[in-house]
Amino acid sequence: MYNKGTIIPGLIIFVGLMLFAVLWDGGGKVEAPKPEKPVGYKECVKPLQYMKESHMELLNVWRDEVLREGKREPIEVGGVMYEKSLQNGCMHCHTSKKKFCDTCHEYASVYPYCWDCHVAPQEDVALKEAR
């Protein structure tokens, strides 16, 4: 073999880069996120699977309807009225951003810009109100 001095280190660097994800983790098992479910509510505005996969689309539609078209009327799902609002709708039941939103978002490296404008509920106050 020729040029061992460059080929071998080069290949080691290549394999190391390719195995970056394995080496970074150190082989530990990754726990699935467990977002805290709201107390006293069983259903959301849409089925669970839809909310898991597409809640951001719904939030975007709501934002457009409320802010750009002025359609602020609440929506009724299964006899319960929900306000079309992140702060007063979603966060009314899901009282904690940290224990609900952030669990999955941080897990999947998702940093939505909701909170650039919206105010997250104060963790302690919201918990007390919920009780």
- Binding-site ranges for other proteins (CB under 8 A): 1-4, 7, 10-11, 14-15, 18, 20-22, 24-25, 27-30, 32-33, 49, 52-54, 56-57, 59-60, 104, 107-113
Structural tokens at position 3: 């040029």
How far apart are CB 3 and other proteins at their closest, in Å? Answer: 6
**Minimum CB distance to other proteins smaller for 16 or for 74:** 16
**Minimum CB distance to other proteins smaller for 59 or for 130:** 59
Rounded (10°) CA dihedral 88, 128, 123, 50: -50
How far apart are CB 64 and other proteins at their closest, in Å? Answer: 11
How far apart are CB 119 and other proteins at their closest, in Å? Answer: 19
Structural tokens at position 1: 């073999």
**Residue 35: left (phi > 0), alpha (psi -120 to 50), or beta?**
beta
Q: For 82, which DSSP code?
A: E
How far apart are CB 17 and other proteins at their closest, in Å? Answer: 10
Helices (H), 2-101: 4-18, 20-25, 48-63, 91-93
**Minimum CB distance to other proteins smaller for 22 or for 39:** 22
